[in-house]
Structure 1
Amino acid sequence: MTAGLIDVASYLPPTEVGREYFERYARPDDPLVRNPMFRAPRSRRYADRTQTAPDLIELAVGALTARHGPTVLDDVEVLITHTALPDVPFLGAGAEIARRLGLRPESIIDLHNGHCAVFPYMLSLARNLLSGASTGRALLCLTQNSGRIFTQPGVRTSAHASVIGDGAAVALVGATGGATILDTEVRHHPEYAADVDIVLADGRLYWEPGTAELDVHFDNRKAQNIIERGTVLVPDVIRAVCDRLSLATKDIDVLVTNQPNRLLLRNWSRELGVDPARHPDTFDSYGNLFGAGMPITFDHAVRAGLVPDGSLVVFGGFAGAGELTAAAAVRWRENVQGGESE
C-alpha cells in the first residue's frame, strides 16, 4: 500500500489587518523592535472572536467538498487534528469536528505537539496508520486561531505580536491513489522545549484569576537561538529525506516550509540551494500561520499554477524553539481545481 496526499484546501478569515495597526501601538523602547525574527508582514488575517477551531475547519472542508463533491469524506477512517489555541482546555477539537462533518472514524487523534512542523508530522502518522489498509482515508485538520492573543491591548505593543495570522487547512490522505508520499522524517529535540513559555505580568499562573494578559515570552537571546537552530535544523531534516530517496536538494521542484519570518525563509532557500521562486512564500500576505502555514501555502501555490504534475514537493519545518522538526516528500500527480477558498 502506498499512501497518497489527495488534496489540500484552506480557509483564511476575511478580516485583514495591516502592519499599520501594530505600528500605531508599538513601543519604541521594545528590545525586540529591531530583531529580524519579528519584522512585521504587510498584512495578516484574524478570526472573529467567536469563531472556534471547528468553525474554521468546517469552512476549509467546504473548499475541499466544493472541489470533490460531498462524498469525498465517506471513507475517512482516521481524523487527526491540531489546534493552536484549544477552545475547551480539557478537550481537543476532533470529536466536535467529526460530529459536524458526520464522520465515524476508527481513530480520532488530537495532536497537540508539532506546532509549526505539524503538517509533515501528520503526514507521517497518517501514512503509518493507513499502512495496513487497502482502502480508507485520513483527514488532517490544522487550525491557527491564536491571533486573538496578540491583539490584546497590552500584548499588541510588543514587536513579536505583529507577525501572527490566523487560518485553517485540511488535507486528505488516501490508502491508494493521490500524490504519493515518498518518505517522511520526524525528529524530537526535547532539550529545546524550555525555550518557549508563557508569561503574565502579575506573575500569576494562566489559570488563576486576574487581569494580566497572557503572552508568549521572547527576548533577544532566545530569538537569536531560535533563528540559529532553525537555520540548521530544517535543512538537516529535509536532507535526511532527500538522501534516503537518493535525491539532491536541488532536485526539489517545490519547497514548502512553515512561514515564521523573512529571514528564515531566505536562509532555508540558501542552505538547500533551492531557487526562492520554487519556495512559495505567504508570510507577507498572511503572517506566521504556525501549523497551518505549510498546507495553506501549498494550497495557494497549487491554485496559482506553481506545482505542475509530477513535481517533487518537499514539506519541512520546525516547532516552537526547535523541539521538533519534520519533513515529508511527495510526488504531486494531480492539479487541484476550484476557486479561492478564502
Structure 2
Amino acid sequence: MSQSPVSLIDVSSYLPGEPIPADYYAQFAESDELRGNLMFRAPAFRHHVAADESAVDMIERAAQGLIERHGQDVIENIDVLITHTQLPDSPFYGAGGGIAHRLGMQPSTVLDLHNGGCAAFILGLNVARQLLAAGAGRSALIAIAQNSAGQVFEQPAVRAKSQAAVPGDGAAVGLVTVSDTSPVLDIECRTYGQFAGDMTYTADPPRKWWQPGPGAGYIAFTEGKITKVLARGNRQVPEVAQTVAHRLGLSPTDIGLLVTNQPNRIFLRNWREALELPESRHFDTFDECGNLFGAGIPINLDRAIAQQRVKAGDVVMMAAFAHAGDFAGAAAIRWGGRQP
C-alpha cells in the first residue's frame, strides 16, 4: 500500500522589533583576534527579541498569517505539534505545551526538538511527514523560534565581540497536511556524531553554563574551530541537497528556488556555486535579518512566496547544517501556491 502524500502547504513568519543597523554594534566593537574573520562580517540589519518576549509569544505572532489564510479552526485542530527554540525560556522543558495552549490546540503529539539547530525546520518536516504518513493525524504545525540574538549576544560583555553583530531573531511556523497540495518530494537527514560538542558555550572566567559567575556566556570560537566549521558546512549542505536531487532525478535547472540557513555571506555564495545555481534562485535575507539560525529557512520561504520569487509548480530545495556540523538536512517540495 502506498503512503498518503504529505504537503507543506504554507509558512508564516514574524520578526521582532525595529531593524537594528550595523552601526549599533560598531559603537561597541572592541579589537579581538577574530575581528577580521569572514565569518563575522556584519549584516546591514537584524532584529532583536524584546526583553519580555518569550518564545511562545514569538510563535503566536508568527502563526497569525496562517490563521488569517486558513482559519483559526485549522490551527486548533492540529494533530502534531513540533517545536524548536534556539534558547529555551526554561532549562527544564521546551515551548510545545505553552504554544499549544496559546494557539488553542489540543494535539495528540507534541515534540520539542533541540538537536536540529539551524536545520531544525527540515528535521521537523521529516518527523511530521513520517508521523502523518504513519496515521498519527491529518495535520502538523512546525514552530521555530530563534531568540538568542537579543538575549545572549546583546549582553554588554558579549556585544563587543566580533560574533555579536551577526545573529538576528525571528520566528516562523509551517503547516503540514496529508494532501497532495504542495507535496514533500524527498528529505535527507544526516547526523555527524563525531562533531557533536565542537560548538561550545563558555564564559570568562570559565564555568558550566548553569553555574553563577561574573562573566557573560558566549560561543567559544577560535580560528581553528572556524576553519573546521567552514569546511564542514561547505561540504555538507551541497551533499544533502545533491542527494535529494539525485534521488528525484533533478538537475540544477529543475530547482526553482534554493532556501538555506544563512550563517554568513561566504556560505551563501559557496552553496549556490556548488549547486550551480544563479543568485536569483537562492533566496536569503541575510542583510535584512542576519543569521536567523533555525528560523532562517521558513522565514526566507515565507518572504520568497510573498515576493513571488516562487510560483506554483516550482521545486523548492531547502538545505541546512547545524552547530559545528553535527547535523545536516535537505528537503524538496513542489510548491502548490499560496491561498490568498
Report the TM range for the smaller structure's normalisation: over 0.9
Q: String of CA shifts for 1:164-184, please: whole Å, max 9, x gaps.
A: 000000000001243100000
Range with bigger deviation, 192-201 or 285-294: 192-201
Structure 2 partner of 1:125: 127
> How many angstroms does 1:101 deviate by?
1.1
Whether 1:271 and 2:271 are equivalent positions in the alignment is no
SS at match of 2:201: strand
The Cα offsets for residues 99-142 of structure 1, whole Å up to 9 and x where unpaired, read as: 11111111100001110011111111100000133961000000
Structure 2 distance, partners of 1:325, 1:220, is 22
For 2:39, the aligned partner's letter is: M
Using the alignment, how far apart are the partners of 1:73 and 1:177 within structure 2?
Answer: 19
What are the within-5 Å matches in structure 2 for residues 1-342 of structure 1? Answer: 1-28=4-31, 30-133=32-135, 136-147=138-149, 148-337=151-340
Q: Gaps spanning 5+ residues in structure 2: where?
A: none
9-18 or 271-280, which moves further after superposition? Answer: 9-18
Tell me, in whole angstroms, the C-alpha distance in 1 between the residues paired with 2:58 and 2:338. 24
2:173·2:298 contact (CA, 8 Å) conserved in 1?
Answer: yes
Contact 1:302 1:336 in 2 (8 A): no
- TM-score w.r.t. structure 1 length? 0.96
Instruction: State the one-letter code of the partner of 1:120.
Output: I
Supply the distance in 2 between the matched residues of 1:37 and 1:210 (Cα, whole angstroms). 29
2-structure distance, mates of 1:159, 1:134: 45
- What's the secondary structure of 2:259's corresponding residue? strand
- State, as a whole percentage, how many aligned pairs show the same letter: 44
Aligned length: 336
Letter in 2 for 1:138: A
* Stretches (4+) displaced over 3 A: none
Give the secondary-structure state (helix, strand or coil) at the position aligned to 1:89. Answer: coil
What SS does structure 2 have at the residue aligned with 1:305?
coil
Task: Give the Cα separation in 2 of the matches to 1:43 and 1:231.
Answer: 24
Amino acid paired to 2:295: A
Distance change (3 Å), C-alpha of 1:57 and 1:25: same
For 1:181-234, what per-residue CA distance to the aligned partner results, in whole angstroms no more than 9, with x for missing partners?
A: 000000000111222001110222221222210111101111121111111110
Kept in 2, the 8 Å contact 1:250–1:272? The answer is no
Q: Work out the CA distance in 1 between the residues paired with 2:60 and 2:180.
A: 24
- CA deviation after TM superposition for structure 1 residue 14, in Å: 2.1
Q: Which residue identity is paired with 1:193?
A: A
8 A Cα contact 1:6 1:172, kept in partner: yes
- C-alpha distance after superposition, 1:269-291 (max 9, x if no partner): 10000111000010000000000
Residues 77, 106 of structure 2: 8 Å contact kept: no
| Separation of aligned partners in 1, 2:177 and 2:157 | 45
Gaps of 5+ in 1: 338-342
